[in-house]
Amino acid sequence: MTITAAAPAPAVGLAMLDGLVGDLQAVRARIAVLQAQEAELFAHAVTVIGVREEECSGQPAAGHGSQLAVREVHAELAAGLRLSEYTVARRVNTARTLFDRFPATGDALTVGRIDPAHADAIVDAGSDLDDTRRAVFEQAALELAGTETPARLRGLLGDLVTRLDPTGTEQRVQDAASRRRVWVKDLEPGLACLGITAPTAHIHGIYDRLTQIATDLHTQNTTDAETPADAGEPADTRTIGQLRADVATDLLLTGAPTGHGTDDDDRTRLGQLRGVVHLEMPATTLTGQTAGGAILPGHGPIDTDTARTLAADAPTWTRLFRDPATGVPTCVDTYRPTQTQRRLLRARDTRCRFPGCRRPARGCDIDHTIARADGGPTALHNLAHLCRRHHTLKHDTAWTVEQLPGGILRWTSPTGRTHHDHPPGTVRFTPTPPDPPPF
Ligand SMILES: [Zn+2]
């Protein structure tokens, strides 16, 4: 008699998982092929810009040079694809660099062997290398891309570039520092993000200092909570992360600015500057009859207590009346007509009124939709905020705009596509009358 071991039952789950991995790999490869085609089309935009430059060179606006053709093409693509012009410009440049200077990477993307994120990492890391070093770099980078995630690939490619071109790294570090900047991004109702890019050592130094102060406060809070004398006091339960954010906010809002290159006089003057925020809140919220409803126009809601505190310290208020159905501002309290129009217009527009543009109205021009020279009146229904870039685009390219009731702008692009830009924050529910009092 012989005993044979029973064969293990087929692992159904593992077979399913195996199939899932294979299917996803196949789909991602197909997506990569399509994204390569998209990149080729973005790269083609450079050719289109060249043709438009030649076509426009005989026109009066040619004094603005090639920038005008670039803006015209980018604006048309951005409006048509509902992307920002910044994103379009980045995709055009990356695509052109990819196919011109990294042909093997372009090929690998076209056949779905690597992801677009891998291709971006290769182009970003290697585009400053000379032809000889770039060829060596690209070959090694493509081998790594076959096994690494895009995030890990970026780190490895940085090391690779430093090894291939140690002296050039010094220059790249200096060039990178020249791109330092600060930006703001609204995240969700009640929360926004401040981003700072600066030399690596400074940023890590800032983060470390914030961590030290936050940790110190956290330890102090824990000790205080255990002290019998403080029993019954409300405990400070903020996490290290929250404390870090609070300390950074305090330092930026109230700390003395000691930027390099400022003498004592400058520092005193800079120290007197305070950030300004424009706040909109219902009168009933201000007086405490209702809660909520305070917003920073163009950025979203903020909490009622902060809004009341800011309003109490504000030197002047402007009363603003809105149409309850559409939300379009209809009137403000003021005695000077031009100021009235400016305030009302700023309250209505809050930003540049070109499709997709988010530049705040504060830095924009007030444009006559129909030019004054053509009989356009200086009236709200013929005025709109446009940033300098889109003001120029409107005047010097074939983009046209007309103003519809409710402050809606209907733009027509050079290729004849129409795009509607609505005044921000005008989506409203029609108010229903309150229930009659029960007496
Ligand atoms: Zn704009």
pLDDT tens digits for range 331-354: 665 433 367 777 788 888 888 999
* pTM of the predicted structure, to 2 decimals: 0.60
**What pLDDT is attached to residue 400?**
93
Q: Separation of 389 CA from ligand 1 center, angstroms?
A: 6
How large a percentage of the chain has pLDDT more than 70?
77
Is the pLDDT at 375 greater than 50? The verdict is yes
Instruction: Give the model confidence (pLDDT) of 181-193 as tens digits.
Output: 999 998 988 899 9
**What pLDDT is attached to residue 131?**
92
Q: Quick one: angle between helices 116-126 and 131-145, nearest 10?
A: 150
> CA–CA separation, 376 vs 365, rounded Å?
16
Q: Separation of 45 CA from ligand 1 center, angstroms?
A: 21
Is the pLDDT at 51 greater than 70? The verdict is yes
Residue 183 Ramachandran class (φ > 0 left, ψ -120 to 50 alpha, else beta): beta
**What pLDDT is attached to residue 331?**
63
Is the pLDDT at 278 greater than 50? The verdict is yes
Q: Kindly indicate the confidence band of residue 316, based on its pLDDT and cuts at 50, 70 and 90.
A: low
Q: Separation of 364 CA from ligand 1 center, angstroms?
A: 8
Average pLDDT on 396-418 reads 91
**What pLDDT is attached to residue 336?**
32
Please, which residues have CB less than 5 A from ligand 1, an ion? 352, 354, 357, 359, 387, 390
Q: Kindly indicate the confidence band of residue 23, based on its pLDDT and cuts at 50, 70 and 90.
A: very high
> CA–CA separation, 114 vs 109, rounded Å?
5
Instruction: Give the model confidence (pLDDT) of 142-180 as tens digits.
Output: 999 988 889 899 988 988 998 888 888 778 878 888 999
Instruction: Give the model confidence (pLDDT) of 54-87 as tens digits.
Output: 888 766 544 445 688 999 999 999 999 999 999 9
Q: Separation of 56 CA from ligand 1 center, angstroms?
A: 22
Show the tokens assigned to 309.
Answer: 């505190």
Q: Separation of 360 CA from ligand 1 center, angstroms?
A: 9
Q: Are 389 and 71 in contact (CB under 8 A)?
A: yes
**What pLDDT is attached to residue 431?**
40
> Any residues with CB less than 8 A from the CB of 273 and at least 6 apart, and which?
257
Q: Separation of 201 CA from ligand 1 center, angstroms?
A: 35
Return the residue matching tokens 């208020």. Answer: 317
**Cα angle 195-196-201, degrees, rounded to a multiple of 5:** 140
> Any residues with CB less than 8 A from the CB of 202 and at least 6 apart, and which?
none
Q: Separation of 352 CA from ligand 1 center, angstroms?
A: 5
Beta bridge mates, 411: 401, 419
Q: Separation of 236 CA from ligand 1 center, angstroms?
A: 45
Instruction: Give the model confidence (pLDDT) of 228-259 as tens digits.
Output: 665 666 778 889 999 999 888 888 887 765 54
φ, ψ at 430 (rounded to 5°):
-65, 125
Q: Separation of 421 CA from ligand 1 center, angstroms?
A: 12
Query: SS in 3 state form for 17-49?
Result: HHHHHHHHHHHHHHHHHHHHHHHHHHHHHHHHH
Per-residue burial over 383-416, b if 16 or more Cβ lie within 10 Å, else e, is bbbbbebbbbbbebbebebebeeebebebebeee
**What pLDDT is attached to residue 261?**
42
Q: Kindly indicate the confidence band of residue 260, based on its pLDDT and cuts at 50, 70 and 90.
A: very low
**What pLDDT is attached to residue 438?**
40
Return the residue matching tokens 């920073």. Answer: 296
Is the pLDDT at 439 greater than 70? The verdict is no
Averaged pLDDT score across all residues of the chain: 81
**What pLDDT is attached to residue 288?**
65
Q: Separation of 353 CA from ligand 1 center, angstroms?
A: 6
Q: Separation of 426 CA from ligand 1 center, angstroms?
A: 19
> CA–CA separation, 65 vs 62, rounded Å?
5
Q: Kindly indicate the confidence band of residue 321, based on its pLDDT and cuts at 50, 70 and 90.
A: low
Average pLDDT on 424-430 reads 54
Q: What share of the chain is helix, strand, coil (3-state, %, to 5)?
A: 55, 10, 30
Beta bridge mates, 400: 412
Residues in the chain: 439
